[in-house]
Copies of this chain bind each other. A is one copy, B any other.
Amino acid sequence: MLYLIGLGLSHETDITVRGLETVRKCKRVYLEAYTSILMAADKESLEKFYGKEVILADRELVEGGTDEILAGAEVDDIAFLVVGDVYGATTHTDLVLRAKEKGIKYEAIHNASVMNAVGASGLQLYQFGQTISLVFFTDSWKPDSFYSRIMENRKIGLHTLILLDIKVKEQSIENMARGRLIYEPPRYMNIATAAEQLLEIEEIRGEKAYTPNTPCIAVSRLGSPSQTFKAATLEELVNYDSGEPLHSLIMLGRQVHDLELEFLYQFCEDPVAFKKFVEEDQEYFKPPPYVPPPDDADDDL
């Protein structure tokens, strides 16, 4: 049996009771260690907590070594641990498909992920549109397909959750070219870089999907003891020191309710100024005023 077990966001003890009981009975325990990190725990602390060896599964192993992970899973119990919830990345769905092909049963034990825990910002989850990912730009590579997706969300008034790049166990182009297995230190995008990159693309595209004054919520270390929210405009966030990783960013949509706004004020330096920016931003993509149908309309309702 393959158990996919979500670890939640931060502590060893964020695993569910059922998840922990399952890990403890498994023969091998893999920890997916490249799409996210557990903020207040590491391999060693998890091993101590579980009383079991934990095998780090990097990209090569998860995407190329599914046979190794699934070996013996027809008879033994194998745990595959994922930070956040189980189905956060395409590769996890793929692992399940590979298990099914081999006739191996699987079960998911879910947990919190950034996708639902961002509700802690006070913004209602049902008002979010599609989620986007922002990767580290290089001089020659500035992928901007996210821009149209933010535009689509904001046109219909929805908030956008922006997931920020994480580079773990990456090789430099030079080391890759020379076949040297030397890895760069891990990098986690912070809020200032994200805000800069977003503004850079807005300047290039110029379609006003958002502006320097668009209100955002910086979400730092969600679910950890030092969790912090900061409500400010995109331009203000360029100078924001967001501290230790992990971070994500929410760009507000037009449909902000009073209760959401009231909740956000606790994260503002100047709630009056923030409210003004929200109201100004709501003028973008405002639907045209309602025009009643002509008298001779012959609807079937």
A residues with CB within 8 A of B: 6, 8-9, 11-18, 20-21, 85-88, 90, 93-94, 96-97, 100, 108-113, 115-117, 119-120, 122, 124-133, 152, 156, 158, 163, 204-206, 223, 259-260, 262-263, 266, 300-301
A-B contacts, 29 of them at CB < 8 A, read: A6-B112, A9-B110, A11-B18, A13-B17, A15-B17, A16-B17, A17-B17, A85-B116, A87-B122, A87-B125, A88-B119, A90-B259, A93-B124, A97-B262, A108-B117, A111-B111, A111-B112, A112-B113, A115-B115, A115-B125, A127-B130, A128-B131, A129-B129, A130-B156, A130-B158, A156-B156, A204-B300, A204-B301, A206-B300
Q: Given A13-B17, A206-B300, are A119 and B263 neighbors across the interface (CB < 8 Å)?
A: no
Query: Inside 8 A of A127's CB, which chain B residues have their CB?
Result: 130
CB distance from A89 to the nearest CB of B (A): 9
Q: Are B131 and A130 in contact (CB under 8 A)?
A: no
Q: Given A112-B111, A129-B158, are A120 and B86 neighbors across the interface (CB < 8 Å)?
A: yes
Copies of this chain, complex-wide, total: 2
CB distance from A180 to the nearest CB of B (A): 32
Q: Are A117 and B85 in contact (CB under 8 A)?
A: yes
Give Cα A192–Cα B130 distance, bound, in whole angstroms. 27
Apart from A110-B120, A115-B116, A130-B156, 18 more pairs, CB < 8 Å: A8-B110, A12-B17, A13-B16, A14-B16, A14-B18, A17-B20, A85-B119, A86-B120, A87-B122, A87-B125, A97-B259, A97-B263, A112-B113, A115-B125, A127-B130, A128-B131, A204-B300, A205-B301
Query: Inside 8 A of A109's CB, which chain B residues have their CB?
Result: 14
Query: Inside 8 A of A100's CB, which chain B residues have their CB?
Result: 266
Q: Are A93 and B115 in contact (CB under 8 A)?
A: no
Q: Are B132 and A90 in contact (CB under 8 A)?
A: no
Q: Are B8 and A16 in contact (CB under 8 A)?
A: yes
Give Cα A20–Cα B126 distance, bound, in whole angstroms. 28
Query: Inside 8 A of A131's CB, which chain B residues have their CB?
Result: 125-126, 128
Q: Are A119 and B18 in contact (CB under 8 A)?
A: no
Q: Give the 7 A-B CB pairs with smallest separation, nearest first.
A: A87-B119, A110-B112, A126-B131, A13-B18, A13-B17, A152-B156, A116-B116
Give Cα A298–Cα B115 distance, bound, in whole angstroms. 40
Q: Which interface residue of A11, A14, A21, A126 has the most chain B CB atoms within 10 A?
A: A126
Query: Inside 8 A of A16's CB, which chain B residues have their CB?
Result: 8, 13-17, 111
